Structure formats: C-alpha cells, structure tokens
Chain A
C-alpha cells in the first residue's frame, strides 16, 4: 500500500455547539467570580490560567504534529495486523502497553488515537489505548499524582487500575458489536 495514499480525516470545526455551551458556562462563571470576589481575584485567575495555556501550547503543537505524521507514516497493514479489528486480545494488550509508555497527558492522546483509528486501528484497541494513557500513563502519575497523593496511594491506585484498559477495550468491542454495526472501515 502506498504511504502517500490519501487519508480521509474528520474535518475539524473550530467552533460548534459544545464550544458554545462551554463558552456560556465560562462567561457566567467569570461574571459570578467578578461580582462575588472582586476584580483582583478575577485577574489573578485570568493570569494563572493564561500561563497554563502558554505552557500547554507546545504540547498541543507536538501532539498535532505526531498525529499528522503517524497518519501518513504508519504502514496501514501493520496497524491493522497489530491493533485492527482482527487483532483480538493481543491488540488490546499492545494498545494498553502503548498507552503506558507514550509521553504526554490527556491533551495529547485524542488526536493520536483518532489518527490510529483513521488508518485502521480497531475501536476497542483505541479505547484501551486512551484508557491506559489516562489511568496508567507515567507522565500523569509522576508529574501530578505523586506529589499530591504520596507513593502508597499512587502505587495501589495504579496496581488496581492495571486491568482496566483491557476491560474497557473488551467492553467497547462488545458494545460496538451489539449496537453500532460497522459502516465500512474508517
């Protein structure tokens, strides 16, 4: 298969109903904060969140680039064989492992997972990958969870969460088989 073969990706709208809902919630919350806590608090939140936004920007750009490269570079037959519809439990295990070792937080995972689905990964595997990344990803655990909770809590939380991506992946396949008959591949 030619690596240059065109890929149909979902067009991304900049703004739609979900953003509008969030925008309304944000405007109301900001107004309440301004009215209840005063201008100083309002500006303080604005500054600190703006700094967070600047922090996030390079991650977002890197994730979008990785997703774009993966979409064109990954040989589709390899993706289909490893994590495709026929990949069985192995596909879910591979996806889980990939979720554990991939760097970055939840911000980076969705475009990359979508890119894999677009080139033939199975939804169950994609969901195992996302679940594994959100629950077992080392970046999130080391950067965020450990400082807040301490090691005993985090170690047990992680051990208990180990099988969850597999459960989610298998369950997703089961639900997909029940109620979402496939309409041709992505």
Chain B
C-alpha cells in the first residue's frame, strides 16, 4: 500500500514533468530545479523532525495517555484528548498506536476520535517542521483557528450517533 501511494505520487510528478517538457526543455529544467532545491532546503528539518522525534516519543508514557482518554472522562477527558493529540510527537505510527491502545484499554470512542482528529489537524511538531517553513504564515494561523472546533464537532457527533 505504501508503495502504491509512493508510486502514484511519482506518476503525478512525472506526468506533470512531461507536460512541462512539452512546453520546452528549459521550462522543465527550471521548474524541476526549483523543486529539487526546495527539497534539499527542507532536508535538515525533516531529518531533525523524523530522526529526532523518536526520542521525544520514547519519553511519552503511553499507558498514562490511554487512561486519560477513559470512556467516562467526559468533557475534561475530551479536552485532554485534543491537547494530547496536538502534542503527540513522532510519525503516524505513534499517534495511531496510542489511539488504538487507548481504545483497547477502554477509552471512549468519542475521545479517541477527537484524539486522532486533533492529532491529524494540529500536530505541533509537524507544524514546525512542515507547515511554517513551506506555507505563508497567515495561512498556517488561519488554518489552526478554523480547525479549533473540529475535534469537538466530531466527538459531539460520535456521542450523538452513539457510534462507533
């Protein structure tokens, strides 16, 4: 599955490259160079974020996080879940495994949903490594503000529906 995603990404990149090449050789060269230069500039940050975040994640007591998301933790639990999601370091493995462990350990589904949604939307570390360097700052802050109510909305909807 991962290879499929990687492959599709490269098919799109190559397809766009072909279209660029059909305009002119120089056109392709210039835009490809710009893409590569961007990538190289980002490398130190990614290195720091990916290779370094494992250490931050290693300090995280996973069982404790799971207990905080308990089914009867109510609104406070929800807020903790959302904050926890935002500050969960590390790659997708960490976030999803904490959520899954919490669910198995008896955490409430709305809290776990709020946790995964908050983590997907706000991951503070990802914001530092990715968003701020590659997007206009105004867009990043706007996105954060506009996303603030979303975890509460999903948790609310999950509670109302009584699912999953």
Contact = CB atoms under 8 A, between A and B. Distances in A.
Q: What DSSP secondary structure best describes chain B's contact surface?
A: helix
Interface residues of B, number: 84
B160 to A, nearest CB: 10
B39 A103 contact: no
Interface in A48-81: 48-50, 52-53, 55-56, 58-73
A64 B35 contact: yes
Interface in B92-108: 92-93, 96-97, 99-100, 103
A90 interface: no
A82 to B, nearest CB: 18
Contact of A160 (B47, B53, B136, B154): B154
Chain B CB count within 10 A is highest, among A25, A45, A65, A130, for A65
A45 to B, nearest CB: 4
A19 to B, nearest CB: 5
A28 to B, nearest CB: 9
Contact of B9 (A59, A71, A175): A59
Interface string A16-33: 101101110110011011
Nearest to A18: B128
A145 B93 CA distance: 9
A14 B44 contact: yes
Contact of B55 (A29, A60, A111, A157): A29
A157 B116 contact: yes
A142 B5 CA distance: 10
A143 B16 contact: no
B120 A69 contact: no
Contact of B91 (A32, A52, A66): A52
B164 A58 contact: no
B5 A104 contact: yes
A160 B161 contact: yes
Which 9 residue pairs of A and B lie closest in terms of their CB atoms, listed nearest first?
A26-B52, A68-B35, A69-B16, A172-B146, A65-B35, A29-B55, A156-B164, A49-B54, A103-B8
Given A68-B34, A148-B99, 4 more contacts: A13-B133, A73-B20, A139-B5, A167-B153
29 contacts: A10-B136, A14-B44, A15-B44, A25-B52, A30-B52, A37-B58, A52-B51, A52-B91, A56-B46, A59-B9, A60-B39, A62-B10, A64-B36, A65-B17, A68-B31, A68-B32, A68-B34, A68-B38, A69-B32, A72-B30, A106-B126, A127-B143, A144-B96, A149-B100, A156-B161, A160-B113, A160-B161, A167-B149, A175-B145
